[in-house]
Structures are given as C-alpha cells and as structure tokens.
Amino acid sequence: QVQLVESGGGLVQAGDSLRLSCAASGHTFTTYTMAWFRQAPGKSREFVIAMTWSEFSTSKYYGDSVEGRFTISRDGAKNAVYLQMDNLQPEDTAVYYCAAGQTLRPTASSDYDNWGQGTQVTVSS
C-alpha cells in the first residue's frame, strides 16, 4: 500500500499561484498513476489532473476547467508529485486530494486505491 500526504494549500488572491505537493511512502510500482481531485462544499469530487508513467511512456490528463492553468510533475527520487496552479480563480476554491493507484481510468475517482487527507485551497476575489 501507498500512503499519501498533501501540503502547500492556503489562502491566496485571484490571479496568484500555488504549488501543492504530494509525498508518497510505501510500495510503488514501475507502472503507476497519480492524480489530483478536488471537492468544494456541496459539490461532488471533481477530477483535476493526472499523470501515468511506465518504463515505456508518460501520459498526462487534464480536467476541462484547469487545462492551460494547472500542470502536474513528478520527482521520482523524492517519491513526490506536484500540482502547479497558476492564475487561480475563486471557483478553484476546494479541498484538493492526491490519489494514487494502478488504473486504466485516470479520471475516475473510484478507480484509485490510495488517497491523501487533503489540503485546503481558498481563492478570494
């Protein structure tokens, strides 16, 4: 099993940037997927961005509302993934969760086996 811990959330103004970190511990695999989801009060959990890697290739997947503003990256040596969020808007306010697993559906929250506790991102206008 993999344990995940998110960090980097906070309160920012519209147009600002944040970088969220997800530190992983425990067993990982050569072929793996890590992703970010978010959930605002009164709303369902929403896919944000994901990254899949293997010995053959690396792929990235983007949610409709964040493509062009958010990017995902990985540091294999540190067992960590990062979510760089630029030009944040009030509608980005949510708890952001890191997820990991071996899945063929990177955008489906139900396909992930491991979840972090979440980190709050609040964007004021």
- Tens of pLDDT, residue by residue over 11-21, are 999 999 999 99
Residue 78: is its pLDDT beyond 90? Answer: no
Q: What is the DSSP code string of 5-19?
A: EEE--EEEETT--EE
Mean pLDDT of 43-50: 96
Band (79; pLDDT cuts 50, 70, 90): confident
Mean pLDDT of 23-41: 89
Separation in Å, CA 56 to CA 30, 52, 88: 10, 11, 34
Q: What is the mean pLDDT of the chain?
A: 93
pLDDT the model gives residue 86: 97
pLDDT the model gives residue 66: 86
Ramachandran region, residue 121 (left: φ > 0; alpha: ψ -120 to 50; beta: rest): beta
Mean pLDDT of 95-115: 92
Band (41; pLDDT cuts 50, 70, 90): very high
